[in-house]
Amino acid sequence: MDISEEAFIINLGVHIRQLREKKGLSQQDLADDCGIPRNQIGRIERAKINTGIKTLIRIANALDIELADLLSFQLK
Protein backbone atom coordinates (compact mmCIF):
# COMPACT_ATOMS: atom_id res chain seq x y z
CA MET A 1 0.00 0.00 0.00
CA ASP A 2 1.36 3.37 -1.01
CA ILE A 3 1.14 6.10 1.59
CA SER A 4 0.96 9.66 0.34
CA GLU A 5 3.12 12.14 2.21
CA GLU A 6 0.20 14.51 2.53
CA ALA A 7 -2.09 11.86 4.06
CA PHE A 8 0.61 10.83 6.52
CA ILE A 9 1.27 14.41 7.65
CA ILE A 10 -2.46 15.13 8.05
CA ASN A 11 -3.06 11.96 10.06
CA LEU A 12 0.05 12.53 12.16
CA GLY A 13 -1.22 15.99 13.10
CA VAL A 14 -4.63 14.61 14.07
CA HIS A 15 -2.97 11.85 16.11
CA ILE A 16 -0.72 14.31 17.96
CA ARG A 17 -3.74 16.51 18.77
CA GLN A 18 -5.67 13.49 20.08
CA LEU A 19 -2.76 12.34 22.24
CA ARG A 20 -2.21 15.87 23.57
CA GLU A 21 -5.90 16.31 24.44
CA LYS A 22 -6.02 12.85 26.05
CA LYS A 23 -3.21 13.99 28.38
CA GLY A 24 -5.15 17.17 29.14
CA LEU A 25 -2.46 19.40 27.67
CA SER A 26 -2.95 22.65 25.79
CA GLN A 27 -0.81 23.43 22.77
CA GLN A 28 1.14 25.80 25.00
CA ASP A 29 1.72 23.08 27.62
CA LEU A 30 3.05 20.70 24.98
CA ALA A 31 5.17 23.41 23.40
CA ASP A 32 6.69 24.29 26.77
CA ASP A 33 7.43 20.62 27.49
CA CYS A 34 9.04 20.24 24.04
CA GLY A 35 10.94 23.51 24.09
CA ILE A 36 9.41 24.65 20.80
CA PRO A 37 7.06 27.54 19.94
CA ARG A 38 3.32 27.00 20.46
CA ASN A 39 2.55 28.07 16.90
CA GLN A 40 4.79 25.24 15.66
CA ILE A 41 2.65 22.71 17.57
CA GLY A 42 -0.43 24.23 15.95
CA ARG A 43 1.09 24.05 12.48
CA ILE A 44 2.06 20.40 13.04
CA GLU A 45 -1.44 19.51 14.23
CA ARG A 46 -3.01 21.30 11.24
CA ALA A 47 -0.54 19.64 8.81
CA LYS A 48 0.79 23.01 7.68
CA ILE A 49 4.43 21.89 8.09
CA ASN A 50 6.36 18.67 7.67
CA THR A 51 8.22 18.41 10.96
CA GLY A 52 11.57 16.74 11.50
CA ILE A 53 12.41 13.66 13.51
CA LYS A 54 14.06 15.70 16.29
CA THR A 55 10.80 17.53 16.93
CA LEU A 56 8.82 14.28 16.81
CA ILE A 57 11.16 12.80 19.42
CA ARG A 58 10.62 15.85 21.63
CA ILE A 59 6.85 15.53 21.23
CA ALA A 60 6.92 11.81 22.04
CA ASN A 61 9.03 12.48 25.13
CA ALA A 62 6.74 15.28 26.27
CA LEU A 63 3.70 13.01 25.84
CA ASP A 64 5.58 10.25 27.71
CA ILE A 65 5.16 7.76 24.88
CA GLU A 66 7.49 5.84 22.58
CA LEU A 67 8.27 7.40 19.21
CA ALA A 68 6.83 4.27 17.57
CA ASP A 69 3.50 4.94 19.35
CA LEU A 70 3.51 8.52 18.10
CA LEU A 71 3.92 7.24 14.55
CA SER A 72 1.41 4.40 14.93
CA PHE A 73 -2.03 5.43 13.69
CA GLN A 74 -4.60 4.49 11.09
CA LEU A 75 -4.42 6.43 7.85
CA LYS A 76 -7.77 7.86 6.81
Task: Please provide the average confidence, as pLDDT, over all residues in the chain.
Answer: 94
pTM here is: 0.91
Instruction: Assess whether pLDDT exceeds 90 at residue 74.
Output: no
| Residue-level pLDDT at 34 | 96
Q: What is the pLDDT of residues 26-53, one digit of tens each?
A: 999 999 999 999 999 999 999 999 999 9
* pLDDT for res 73: 85
**What is the C-alpha separation between 31 and 68, in angstroms, rounded?**
20
CB–CB of 11/75 below 8 Å?
Answer: yes
Residue among 69, 15, 68 nearest 44 (CA)? 15
